[in-house]
Amino acid sequence: MVMMIALSAFAITAYLSLRLASVAASLRLLDHPNARSLHQQPVPRTGGLAVLAGISVGLLLMMLATAGAAIQTLGFILAGLAPLTLVALLDDRSGVPARWRILVHLSGAVSLMAAGFVPTRIDLPGLALPLSAGLAIPLTILFTVWMINLYNFMDGMDGFAGGMAVIGFATLAWLGRSDLGFATSCLMVAAASAGFLVHNFPPAKIFLGDAGSTTLGFLAAACSLWGSQARLFPFWTALLIFSPFIIDATVTLLRRLWRGEKVWEAHRSHYYQRLVLLGWGHRRTVLAEYALMLACAGSALLAIRLPPTGQMALAGGWIAIYGLLAMAVGWLERRPVTVSAP
């Protein structure tokens, strides 16, 4: 049944992505290139609708096949997801003021807290620290809202957000395989993302749009909190899995704040954008990012088998790796450009 749910989500998303990418599609919302874009031609940004359709069919099949705690949990997640996707779709069509978007993001965080995803402790490499409700609630809200927004920020290159979703949710499914409801939910999201990725891999025929990126960001937050709260894996391993997005978005935001830039304005200063602008192109950059994602996923699978000292060494190693990668991008930008003689 699990494989049937995953295959259904994949097939429906792949089919609808193809139809929505067609010039004959009845719904045509185009992402027109501008000074801050990495693409050159208008591309449909309705892929999120295909992903939502695939996930929705998967959820329906789950509800028909199972019952109990997983269905109740999914109900709370859907209660937060529905207004998020509706407002994001409206934003794709005509724009929605930031204050309303943030309000809906906060309501999504409330739905996860209602599902019981407020942690009583925070798991770090090698140790677990207890959390009071007064600290756990704002941290849950901050994490959820940031994951929603960072996924939106990082959805700016062909194949990038879809690839992170496939690798990230598949890894969560494996880590949480002892809980059938959790594992099926994560695998379903991974399968739907793979169906979209078929048509989003460089050169992309269709984009996620805000409806898709906010959906995946919210579900990444939900499944990370769900799995850690159920003690399926330490919370920090979920952060490690999605760290290619978390680190890039967070460091870029902090750099822009330090420079006094208007952080709410669109830009092209994420590390992946800088690599594309350096001449790497979408395909080479996204393949390098896939390698990074797979390394993070493999490290997360390894981490749960390590003793506390090994976990701390692994986390320290990744901090060093990300520091070296950031310096490498800066070094590439500072290299003198050589022009060949005619």
Which pLDDT tens digit goes with each residue over 295-337?
999 999 999 999 999 999 999 999 999 999 999 999 999 887 5
Q: Which residues neighbour 177 within 8 Å (Cβ) at sequence distance 6 or greater?
A: 183
Q: Which residues neighbour 77 within 8 Å (Cβ) at sequence distance 6 or greater?
A: 111, 112, 115, 219, 222
pLDDT beyond 80 at 36: no
Confidence of residue 38 (pLDDT cuts 50, 70, 90): low
Confidence of residue 233 (pLDDT cuts 50, 70, 90): very high
φ/ψ (deg, to 5) at 121: -150, 160
- Residue 30 in 3-state DSSP? strand
Among 250, 257, 267, 32, CA closest to 147: 250
Contacts 24+ apart (CB under 8 A), 169-173: 169/193, 169/219, 169/220, 169/223, 170/297, 171/241, 171/297, 171/300, 171/301, 172/223, 172/224, 172/227, 172/233, 172/238, 172/241
Question: Which token pair is 81?
Answer: 């997801």
pLDDT tens per residue across span 258-274: 998 887 777 888 999 99
Per DSSP, what are the bridge partners of residue 320? none
Query: What number is the average pLDDT over the span 246-256?
Result: 95
Per DSSP, what are the bridge partners of residue 121? 130
| High-pLDDT (> 70) share of the chain, % | 94
For residue 21, the tally of other CB atoms under 10 A from its CB is 19
pLDDT the model gives residue 286: 96
As a whole number of angstroms, the distance between CA 51 and CA 48 comes to 5
Amino acid in the structure at residue 335: R
* Residue 282 contacts residue 293 (beta carbons within 8 Å): no
Q: Is 84 exposed, middle or buried (0-12, 13-18, 19+ CB in 10 A)?
A: buried
Identify the top-confidence range among 21-35, 51-65, 104-118: 104-118
Higher pLDDT, 32 or 307: 307
Higher pLDDT, 238 or 335: 238
pLDDT beyond 50 at 341: no
Domain ranges of the chain: 2-31+41-239
pLDDT beyond 90 at 340: no
Q: For residue 261, what is the DSSP state?
A: -
For residue 327, the tally of other CB atoms under 10 A from its CB is 10
Per DSSP, what are the bridge partners of residue 129? 122
As a whole number of angstroms, the distance between CA 279 and CA 73 comes to 45
As a whole number of angstroms, the distance between CA 204 and CA 43 comes to 8
As a whole number of angstroms, the distance between CA 203 and CA 43 comes to 10
Query: What number is the average pLDDT over the span 207-219?
Result: 94
Measure CA 166 to chain center: 9
Query: What number is the average pLDDT over the span 278-299?
Result: 96
Say which range, 41-55, 202-216, 260-274, 297-311, has the weakest mean pLDDT: 260-274
For the stretch 197-231, what's the b/e string if a residue is b when 16 or more beta carbons lie within 10 angstroms of its beta carbon? bbbbbbebbbbbbbbbbbbbbbbbbbbbbbbbbbe
Going 235 to 237 to 242 to 244, the CA torsion angle's sign is: positive
Say which range, 200-209, 245-254, 328-337, has the weakest mean pLDDT: 328-337
* Residue 32 contacts residue 166 (beta carbons within 8 Å): no
For residue 140, the tally of other CB atoms under 10 A from its CB is 20
Placement of tokens 């949990």 in the chain: 73
